[in-house]
Every structure is written in structure tokens, then in C-alpha cells.
Chains A and B, each alone.
Chain A
Amino acid sequence: MSYFLTQLANGLSYGLILGLIAVGFVIVFTSTGVLNFAHGSVLLTGAYLVAVLHDPIGFWAAVVVGIAGAALLGVLINAVLVRNLAEANPGTAAILMLGVDILLLTELTRRIGNRVLPIGAPWGADVVTLGGVTLPTSRAVAAGLAVLVFGLLWFLFARTGFGVAMRAAAADGDTASLMGIRLSRTGAAGWALAGALAAIAGIFLASFPAPGVAPALAISAFAAIPAWVLGGFDSVVGAIVGGLIIGVVTALAVGYETQLHFLGRGLGEVVPYAVMILVLLVRPSGLFGREEAVRA
């Protein structure tokens, strides 16, 4: 039983981290209509900044720089590239982001090489044990912080004027624009938020039990895509729930792999996508998506 609970706790904490990434996908998509394939390299940029800077300026200062850097990178991608597309439509924007991802990832891979950079977090490789459930401290901190971040996001979107403006812009950009909402600002804010969330997720994905910052970290953002799709493409709540579902299912598939041997090795890599396809078969617009999630 405690083995099951440990796996469950691991899955939930991992799911919350995936949720941070998936919410970034949702916010960029609803605020600017871009399917952000470069999210993984933005995440890696944030984690890389922390890994390089934690020695000279201290971990917490490096975290601030990493988050700000990733947010700034997102804003720049939007301002310099996305807004200057020759044909602005979701398809070309998505492919543009593939190109941006290749550029960023190639440069970061060149800088990192085949090293694994330690993230230098104060929680190191500690674990916490509570009632027979063992969890890496980094994951416990991640879970707590993710819940806090989601609370702040709720406050932003529900209780502040700017958040309401962002929601209006996402619901109907043209009308929002006529009401005096500056779409350039809500778009930039969306990219900045997504970049900051990605950097936070990146720091925890590079912490124990992972060895540190390596180029493969960028791939982990892909693991959040099933979470995003599962929740519906334009729902923040859906992205969080999707993250939790994917996190728990992945953790259980890995934890009980010996019993699930008949499904093949490496089950943890494929299970998120299998769940995604199964859900789409039943509900093509995801669990929380609007029936027709097309931005008209």
C-alpha cells in the first residue's frame, strides 16, 4: 500500500510540474494563437541560466535571472518573429516555432555539450518521508510551489483587470480590441507568463531525481503536450487536470512495469500519448475544451 501511495505522490508532484508547462502552452495559444513548439527550449534556457549562474551569484538570484530570462526570451520570440510572419495563421506559426526550437536547442546543445550541469538547488538529493510515503524534497517543494502558482494565476485571471483583459482577448480578440484592450500587450504578457512557468518547471525537472541540466530536458516539455491536448486546447484548468492525469498514469506505469510486462518495455514513454489518443477518440476537443476550439 505504501508503495502505491509513494508512486501516487510521485505521480501527482510530477503531474503538477507538467501542469506548469501545459498551462504555458495554453496561455500562449489563447493569447496569440501560437502552438509553441519552442516551449521546450525556453524551458531549457531558464534551467541553463540557473545552472550556470548559481555558482557566481547564488541559487535564488540565479532562479530570478532564469525566470526573467525565459520570460524575456518568450516576449522576444513573439515580438520579433511571430508578429512578423509573412502569413499569420496557426499552421505557419507552429512551424515557425519548430524552426525557433531547432535554433535555440542547437545553440544550447553546443554550449552544454555532453555535460550534465548541476542545478545547485538547496534541497539537493534529500527526501521527505511522511506516513510511509517517500518523496524527493525537490518534488515536494515543486508540488507546493505549483499549487501556489496556480493560485496566483487564478487571482490574476479572476481578480485583476489585466487578467480579465487577457481572458477577453483570448475569448474574442477582435471584440476585445474594439473595447480598447491592446492585443500586443496581452500577447506579450502571455508569452512572458508561459516563459516564467516553463523556467520554474525546468528547475524542478533538472533537480533530483534527475541528474541536472542536459539538452534532453527540452524533450520533457513534449511530455506536457499530451496533458495540454487531453485537457482541451484552451483551458487552463484542463491543462492542470491533464497534467495530473498524465503524471499519475506515467508514474504508475513506471512503478508497476514488472506487472505490466506484457505491454512491453519502456511503457512510461508511450503511456501519456496512448492516454491522449484514447481520450481524443471519445472527446475530440479534450476533457475541458470548448466544443469547437477554433479561434474564429
Chain B
Amino acid sequence: MPEIRRRLPVVAAALLAAALPFLLDDFWLQTGLFTMAAVVGAIGLTLLVGVAGQLSLGHASFAALGAYTYAWAVGETDGRAAGIGLPPVLGLVLAGVVAAVAGALFSPISGRLRGIYLGLATIGLVFLARHLMVNLQGATGGFVGRSVEPFSVPGFSFSNNDPDYLAVAGVQFEGLHRLWYLFLGVVLLAAWLGRNVKASRTGRALANVRDSETAAASTGIHVARAKATAFVISSAYAGVAGALMALAYGRIAPDLFGLQLSIDFLVMIVLGGLGSIAGAAAGAAFVVILPLVLTQYSSDLPFLASPGSGGLDAATLARLLYGAAIVAVLLFLRGGLAGAAGRLRRRRALPDPDDPPPAPPPPAGTGASPSAPHPDVPTRSKETSS
């Protein structure tokens, strides 16, 4: 039964997430929506960074593209910003497609540069995107941004009306509750697709390119195309994540999609463990929830000063914990949260007759083996160059 046991945590997490709207108040629901939007982006980035070994600091620009594509495609033209009034489902798909196309347009660079060099080059995209967001006022609303039409399918809106009153098991389902399930669906789809990409022929080719471009090329993998493919897939994820962010915020502006968002995405997957989809989700939850919770409950924490007084306020503490978490994980936790969880599981599990015994970790210095010794063991994050 190892198959079922392996799936159990995922199923339990999904069921728990489905039950949460019955228990949580609006603050936590909103936080959950932001988290799930970030999870989608983080899964996409972990496919690029963790599996293909390519760094990107430009994902905020693809998220922005997705967000504005959604807002433009679904919105109606009014005095402030243009729109073409497509059905929202189409808008969500279009967000991913447009971001993927933009990622493909970047392939002359993303296919040729490798690792951190690509990371540096993609910083430029964030500033280009900001310039476009501010200046293409007709579509984006400029500095002040534009509002986002709520999601809907014919006869049902994911907002507070239409139907105006909807209750499930005595809990009134408002826009936040309804969006929760939409987001959960997208997250599960994104995780499932991501897992399949990782395990597919493409994914193994990408891991091969990550471990050694020369070896990959000698086995017939088109290295530049593989790197560009990883970038396109990852951009599509970022585009959908951006559209979800737009839905969660209800209003988007250029400041939401700065370099900080790119860094946040990267930090999420590093904390979680590069290449691990569950790790990306955990990292996203930490990065999104920490500042929101500290700000929300700052009055209950006696050691916090009020903002602007020069003392330790909630926002400052959140930033310090965020930075310290990055440093601590990188210094002490090989493979991030996913790596630590894998080690813990292996240490606890007694040898099971159904399971092959876990292979010993490869000796230090040899780099990661391209195939994981055990499906449960997350691939050790690789050496970008060795």
C-alpha cells in the first residue's frame, strides 16, 4: 500500500484546505487567497530553478503580465481603462497564454544563458514591465492601476452577489469563500501538472541539462530548447499566478509587481527546497502569511513598537524574520524544508518490505544523481556549476 500512503498527506492537505472556509474569518480567508496565488507562481518557479537549474528574478513581470491581461480581457472599457469583456474563464486562460508567449519571446536569452547569469538578465524584465505598466495608461490605468472584474461563470459569480445569498452548512458563502474554491482548484491543477512535468520526459531532460549541459547534449537533448521550454512553462505559471493575485486584490497597480515580488517567489522555493512542489507550497505560505499575521496581530505582541516610532514595529520584525529565515535555511537546512522533511521521514521509517531501502546519500562532492533513489526522496538540489 505504499502508493496510498504516499498520496495520503496530499489528500489530507487538500481536504483540510477545502474545509477551512467553514472555520476562518475574512482576514484569514484573504490571507489564504494570497497564499494560494503565490503557491501557483512558486510551483512554476521551482520547475525552472529547481528542476532546470535556471535562475529567474523576472517572474514579477510575468505575474504582472498575467494580472493585467486578465483585467484587460475581462474588464469593460470605461473612462479609466480599456477592456474587451471576455468571459472570465477565458481571461484566466489568456493570462497564462500571454505570459507563456512573452516567456517564449525571451528565449533567445533564456535558452543561451545559464543559471545565475539568466537570473541577472531577467532583472531587466521587471523594470521593463514597470515602465510599460506606468506608461500604457489606456490598458493599465498607469500609476494608480485599475480595478479587476470578479470571476464568474454563467449564472454564478465569485463575488458577494449573484446569487446574493448562498449558504453551505449554515456558513454564508461570500466572495472570499467562493474564490477560495476556485483558487484551490487552480492550485491542485498546477501542482498536478507540475508533478507530471517533473516526472515526464521533458522534466528529466531538464534535470539532465541542469546537472551537465555537455552530458545532456551528448544524449541528444537540445539544450537551448530545453532551457527555453522550462522558461516558457514557468512564465505561464507566473501569468496564472498574477491573474489570481489580481482576483485576490480586486485592484492592481504597478507597485504590486516590483522586484520584491520576484525575490519573494525565489525565497519561497528556496525555503521550501528547490525542485519540490510541496516545498514550494510551504515556502509560499510562510512568505505570504508572516508579514500579514504580524501586522494584523501586532497590538497583541507587547514587544512591538508602533509603526514609525523608530522601535521594532511589526513590518520591521517581519522583514527581519524573513531575512533570518533565508539565511538560516541556507546555512543549516540542506535542501530546504522538503529536504529536512525527507531526512526526517527516512530516519523514522523502519525498513518496509514493500519499499526498497532508501539509498545512502551520494558522497559529498559528486553532485546530485539525476534520478532520485526513491520516489519519496526529493531530488537534492543540484550544484548549478560544479
Contacts and interface: CB of A to CB of B under 8 A. Distances in A.
Interface stretch (B74-82, B120-128, B159-167): B120-128
B316 A274 contact: no
Given A270-B130, A284-B109, A98 B120 contact: no
Given A280-B109, A294-B385, A274 B330 contact: no
Given A87-B334, A92-B270, A110-B316, A229 B120 contact: yes
Contacts of B121: 229, 276-277, 280
A160 interface: no
B17 to A, nearest CB: 28
Contacts of B325: 99
Contacts of A107: 320
Given A86-B330, A265-B135, A293-B117, A277 B381 contact: no
B263 interface: yes
B323 A103 contact: yes
Contact of B383 (A89, A269, A274, A284): A89
Contacts of B117: 229, 233, 284-285, 293
B316 A96 contact: no
Contacts of B384: 89-91
- Chain A interface SS verdict (over half): helix
Contacts of A90: 115-116, 384-385
Interface string B82-124: 0000000000000000000000000011001111110111011
Nearest to A112: B310
A35 B312 CA distance: 30
B297 interface: no
Given A87-B381, A89-B386, A99 B123 contact: no
Nearest to B121: A280
A276 B324 CA distance: 32
A85 B331 contact: yes
Interface string A283-296: 01100000001111
Nearest to A282: B108
B116 A35 contact: yes
B323 A106 contact: yes
Contact of B123 (A86, A273, A296): A273
Given A90-B116, A98-B263, A103 B124 contact: no
B109 A281 contact: yes
A229 B40 CA distance: 30
Given A265-B135, A277-B121, A86 B332 contact: yes
B209 interface: no
A27 B241 CA distance: 37
A79 interface: no
Contacts of B222: none
A-B residue pairs, 5 tightest by C-beta: A99-B326, A264-B135, A273-B124, A102-B323, A103-B323
Interface of A: 35, 81, 84-87, 89-92, 94-96, 98-103, 106-107, 109-110, 113-114, 222, 225-226, 228-229, 233, 264-267, 269-270, 272-274, 276-277, 280-281, 284-285, 293-296
Given A86-B331, A90-B115, A96-B327, 18 more contacts: A84-B331, A86-B330, A90-B385, A91-B49, A91-B53, A94-B119, A95-B326, A100-B323, A102-B322, A225-B123, A228-B120, A229-B120, A264-B135, A265-B134, A273-B128, A280-B109, A284-B117, A296-B385
